[in-house]
Amino acid sequence: MRLNNKTAVVTGAAGGIGQAIIQKLLTEGARVVAADLSADALKVFQDIPADKLVTFAVDVTDFKQVEAMVKHAADTFGQLDIMINNAGIGLAKPLLDHDPVGDFDPVTNVNQKGVYHGIVAAGRQFRDQGTKGVIMNTSSVYAQMAAEMTFTYNVSKAAVDMMTKCAALEFAPIGVRVCAIAPGRVDTPMLRQYEALGLWEHIRKEQMRNTFTQPSEIADVVAFLVSDEANCINGCTVNASDGFENFKYPLLG
Ligand code: NAI
């Protein structure tokens, strides 16, 4: 098992991609702190033994809570090895309809500041432990593409890519790798918002394979990236997107 006895923190744990990452990390031998907004949402993990997984209610927009989450992981399992900053939210709204007072901060605070908090808290923990570590951020191919309706989301994910590069540079001397993964369209509650808009079939046909990426497929890539097999991958964003960013759709009408 690639992650035997490694301790990982995963934020956004109760969501589609977070749950899949946790399942995969557990099968690879890791011990996990599953963190999400509410204790209620975290009940999905209640059947997993406490020597394998503990839960932690956190709002990643609050640095003190993120710091406490990291400390909880080290106190519970001995040390932190892997930090996965995965929590994220979206906003689908044309830019001209934005409320500039209320629409920018919520997305930015979770997607950008939340990842920043995780990077700093985990980096300090690795430095204080004197151990190597890996920080993995969930970005999106929307960081690399313009898209209608998702202005704040794309901007926040572009920030994730740059934070990944800068943190990798600063943390390399203490033996810490920092990478990001960029999914395209993954079948999770976040993507299912398109169903309510009546756009599900439309966006499915835009996919090269005519189907969405499964959360477990993202989890497989993440498990590799946080393992020692990926030691030479650092300071970059790895696209795991079914090639979504490379094509103007629909492909054949
Ligand atoms: P999801 O909506 O299923 O899960 C997101 C989780 O984050 C939820 O459980 C939610 O409670 C949690 N969360 C939200 N705000 C939080 C906060 N302030 N503190 C702690 N937890 C918070 O979404 P999904 O699809 O699993 O998304 C996971 C990550 O993947 C996000 O960063 C998202 O932007 C990214 N992503 C998703 C794609 C998709 O097509 N589903 C595509 C590209 C990126």
Which band of pLDDT confidence, cut at 50, 70 and 90, is reported for residue 20? Answer: very high
Q: Measure the CA–CA gap between 125 and 131, rounded to whole angstroms.
A: 9
Q: Tell me, in angstroms, the distance from the centre of ligand 1 to residue 191's CA.
A: 10
Evaluate whether 164 touches 176 at the Cβ level (below 8 Å).
Answer: no
> Could you read off the pLDDT of 66-111 as tens digits, one per residue?
999 999 999 999 999 999 999 999 999 999 999 999 999 999 999 9
Q: Measure the CA–CA gap between 178 and 67, rounded to whole angstroms.
A: 18
Q: Tell me, in angstroms, the distance from the centre of ligand 1 to residue 28's CA.
A: 23
Q: How many angstroms separate the Cα of 166 from the Cα of each of 120, 130, 174, 177, 235?
A: 12, 20, 14, 11, 7
Residue nearest to atom 41 of ligand 1 (CA): 186
pLDDT for the residue numbered 251:
58
Q: Is 153 a catalytic residue?
A: yes
Atom of ligand 1 nearest to the CA of 186: 40
Q: Of 17, 41, 56, 6, which Cα lies nearest the Cα of 182?
A: 17
Q: Please compute the mean of the pLDDT values over residues 106-127 and round it to a whole number.
A: 98
CB 189 less than 6 A from any atom of ligand 1: yes
Please give the model's pTM, rounded to 2 decimal places: 0.98
Q: What domains lie within the chain, and their CATH numbers?
A: 7-242 (3.40.50.720)
> Could you read off the pLDDT of 34-53 as tens digits, one per residue?
999 999 999 999 999 999 99
